[in-house]
Chains A and B, each alone.
Chain A
Amino acid sequence: MSPDTPTPVDTGLLEGRVALVTGGAAGIGLGIATAMAEQGATVVLAARRLENGEPAAESLRAAGHRARCVRCDVTSRDDLEEAVAAAVEEFGRLDCLVHNAVGGSAAPGPLEGIGDGWRGLLATTVRASFDTAQVAHPHLAAAGGSLVFLTSAAGMEGSANLPAYAMVKASQRALAKSLSREWGSDGIRVNCIAPVAMTPAMARAYAANPELEERLVERTPLRRIGDPVEDIGPVAVFLASDLARFVTGQTIVADGGGFLGL
Chain B
Amino acid sequence: MGLQTLLCGDGPLASDLADRLTETGSDVSVVEPSGLLDRAEAAARVDAAVAGLGGLDLLVHVLSAPPTPTDLVDLDTDDWAAAAEAPMAVGLHLLQVARPHLANGSRVVHVLPTSAMGGAPGFAATATAAEGLRALNKSAARQWGPAGITTAVVAVAPELALGLLAATEGAALADAALGGPGGAGQLADLLEVLASPGAAFTTGSTIVADGGTWMAP
Q: What residues of chain A have their CB less than 8 Å away from a CB belonging to chain B? A: 77, 110-112, 114, 118, 122, 126-127, 130, 133-134, 137, 154-160, 162-164, 166-182, 249
Contacts of B122 in A (CB 8 A): 182
Chain B residues touching A, range: 35 or more
* Inter-chain contacts of A180 with B (CB < 8 A): 119
Cβ-defined contact, A126 with B84, below 8 A: yes
Q: A177 near B119 (CB under 8 angstroms)? A: yes
Confirm or deny: B105 has a beta carbon within 8 angstroms of a beta carbon on chain A: no
B188 within 8 A of partner (CB): no
Q: Which of B75, B85, B119, B137 contacts A158 (CB 8 A)?
A: B137
Majority DSSP secondary structure for residues of B touching A: helix
Across the interface, which residues of B come within 8 angstroms of A169, CB to CB? 135
Interface contact A178-B141, CB-CB below 8 Å: no
B90-123: which residues lie under 8 A (CB-CB) from chain A?
A: 91-92, 95-96, 99, 115-123
Of all chain B residues, the one with the shortest Cβ separation from A158 is B138
Contact indicator A157/B170 (Cβ below 8 Å): no
Query: In the complex, what residues of A have CB within 8 A of residue B91's CB?
Result: 167
Contact of B135 among A77, A158, A160, A249 (CB under 8 A): A158
B139 touches A158 (CB 8 A): yes
In the assembled complex, 23 residue pairs joining A and B whose CB atoms fall closer than 8 Å, in A order, are A111-B139, A130-B77, A130-B84, A159-B138, A159-B139, A163-B135, A163-B139, A167-B136, A170-B135, A171-B84, A171-B88, A174-B116, A174-B124, A174-B131, A174-B132, A177-B118, A178-B72, A178-B120, A178-B121, A178-B128, A179-B119, A181-B121, A182-B121
Interface pair A111/B96, CB less than 8 Å apart: yes
Q: Flag if B120 contacts A170 (CB, 8 Å).
A: no
